[in-house]
Amino acid sequence: MTKIEVYKGDITQLELDALVNAANNGLWMGGGVAGAIRRAGGKEIEDEAVKKGPIPIGEAIVTGACKLKTKYIIHAAVMGQDLKTDAEYIRQATKNSLLRADELGIKSIAFPALGTGVGGFPIDECARIMIGEVRQHSARKTGLKRVIFTLFDEPAYQAFKQELDMSLN
């Protein structure tokens, strides 16, 4: 059974098997979560990611984590070079990140709210989509034991907490 949690804080400080990066399909790491991961973990993460790109929007690739307290960074391409996203891209990027986690035998993973920063996607809808995908995935055979949605600010934290609480009832 996969335990789903909501945490308010800096995703780069977590000690888990993998962190998910809200990426563009070119895999360059500019602002938001991607910029925070690059600053905390080192430019080598971006260099390795860019060599594996570009990838289709909705797909996910894996790199090392350099200086971070995690083994892997899963780069979920939630938008294109135009920095726009939609519900289907978020759904696919979440699903493909979970599939990469299973391929690597990962037990714990942290997700940011994909597409809600630079992509401008509504946080409530993002929470519904992402939590729904994790629930579907955990109903199948998976080695994932812990999924943490890591939100940087209070409104995002509350949106995910509310959605998770509703999905438990």
Query: What is the per-residue pLDDT across 95-146, written as a single tens digit (0 to 9) for each?
Result: 999 999 999 999 999 999 999 998 999 999 999 999 999 999 999 999 999 9
CB 60 within 8 A of CB 98: no
Query: What is the per-residue pLDDT across 151-167, written as a single tens digit (0 to 9) for each?
Result: 999 999 999 999 999 98
pLDDT of residue 93 exceeding 90, the answer is yes
Does 81 or 90 have the greater pLDDT score? 90
- Separation of alpha carbons 94 and 47, rounded Å: 23
- Separation of alpha carbons 145 and 83, rounded Å: 32
Domains of the chain and CATH, by start: 3-168 (3.40.220.10)
- pTM as predicted: 0.97
